[in-house]
Amino acid sequence: MLSVHVLAGPMVMGAVSSVLAPDPEVQLDTRTNNVREAVNLRLGSDDVLLIDDLLLAQAPGLVASIKGVPCRKILVGRVADPDAARRALVLEAVNMVDPDRLSEDLLEVLKSLVQPATVTDPWVGVVYSAKGGVGKSTVALNLAWALAIQSDHDVALMDADPLGDIGAMIQDKPGATLIDVARGLAAGMSEEKALSSLYRVKPLGLTVVPAAPSPQDAQKISMEEFETVLRLLAASHPYVVVDVATGLTDLNLIAMDQATEIIVLTAPERVTLGTVKRAVEVLKRLYPNKLALLLNRADSDTGVGVREVEQELSVPVQYVLPSGGSAPVRATNRGRPLVLADAKNTLARAITAIAQEIVGGREGTRRRPRRWFAH
Ligand SMILES: Nc1ncnc2c1ncn2[C@@H]1O[C@H](COP(=O)(O)OP(=O)(O)O)[C@@H](O)[C@H]1O
Ligand SMILES: [Mg+2]
Ordered by where they begin, the domains of the chain are 2-111 (3.40.50.2300), 123-363 (3.40.50.300)
Q: Does ligand 1 come within 6 angstroms of the Cβ of 321?
A: yes
pLDDT score for 210: 95
Distance 139 CA to ligand 1 centre (A): 8
**Could you tell me if the CB of 132 is within 6 A of ligand 1?**
yes
pLDDT value for 224: 95
Q: Please report, in angstroms and rounded to a whole number, the separation of the first and last CA atoms in the chain.
A: 35
Does 129 contact ligand 1 (Cβ within 6 A)? Answer: yes
316 lines ligand 1 (CB under 6 A): no
Residue of minimum CA distance from atom 12 in ligand 1:
135
Q: Does ligand 1 come within 6 angstroms of the Cβ of 122?
A: no
Please compute, for residue 312, the number of CA atoms within 13 A of its CA located in the half-sphere on the CB side: 23
Tell which atom from ligand 1 comes closest to the C-alpha of 140. Answer: 17
Does 164 contact ligand 1 (Cβ within 6 A)?
A: no
Q: Whose CA is nearest to atom 16 of ligand 1?
A: 135
User: How far is it, in rounded angstroms, from Cα 54 to Cα 75?
Assistant: 10
- 276 in Cβ contact with 308 (< 8 Å): no
Cβ of 297 below 6 Å from ligand 1? yes
The number of C-alpha atoms within 13 Å of 81 and in the hemisphere containing its C-beta is: 15
Residue 316 Cα, ligand 2 centroid: separation in angstroms?
24
Instruction: Determine the atom of ligand 1 nearest the C-alpha atom of 134.
Output: 22
Q: How far apart are CA 169 and CA 182, in angstroms?
A: 22
Query: Closest ligand 1 atom, CA of 129?
Result: 22
CA dihedral sign, ordered 151, 152, 153, 157: positive
User: Of the ligands numbered here, which is closest to the C-alpha atom of 211?
Assistant: 2
In the reported structure, the alpha carbon of residue 84 is separated from the centroid of ligand 1 by a whole-number distance in angstroms of: 55
pLDDT at 215: 87
Residue 299 and residue 268 in contact, taking contact as beta carbons nearer than 8 Å:
no
Residue among 138, 264, 275 whose CB has most ligand 1 atoms within 8 A, to mutate: 138
Q: How far is CA 313 from CA 9, 86, 129, 244, in A?
A: 71, 66, 13, 21
Fill in the amino acid letter for 195: L
Task: Calculate the alpha carbon distances from 178 to 232, 245, 279, 321 in Å.
Answer: 12, 14, 26, 29
Task: Please spell the DSSP secondary structure of 144-174, one letter per residue.
Answer: HHHHHHH-SS-EEEEEE-TT--HHHHSSS--
**Cβ count near 260 (within 10 Å):** 18
Ligand 1 center–CA 126 separation, angstroms: 17
Other C-beta atoms closer than 10 Å to the C-beta of 332 total 20
Per-residue pLDDT of the chain (375 residues; tens, 9 = 90+): 889 999 999 999 999 999 999 998 899 999 999 999 999 999 988 899 999 999 999 999 999 999 999 999 999 999 888 899 889 888 988 889 999 999 999 998 888 777 665 557 899 999 999 999 999 999 999 999 999 999 989 999 999 999 999 988 887 777 899 999 999 999 999 999 999 999 999 889 999 999 998 889 988 999 999 999 999 999 999 999 999 999 999 999 999 999 999 999 999 999 999 999 999 999 999 999 999 999 999 998 898 999 999 999 999 999 999 999 999 999 999 989 999 999 999 999 999 999 999 998 888 654 444 333 332
155-160 vs 206-209, strand pairing mode? parallel
**DSSP tag of 60:** G
Q: Tell me, what's the pLDDT at 95?
A: 86
Q: How far apart are the C-alpha atoms of 150 and 348, rounded to whole Å?
A: 13
Atom of ligand 1 nearest to the CA of 332: 27
Q: Can you tell me the distance from the alpha carbon of 46 to that of 72, in angstroms, rounded to the nearest whole number?
A: 7
Centre of ligand 2 to C-alpha 156, Å, is: 17
Rounded to two decimals, the pTM is 0.71
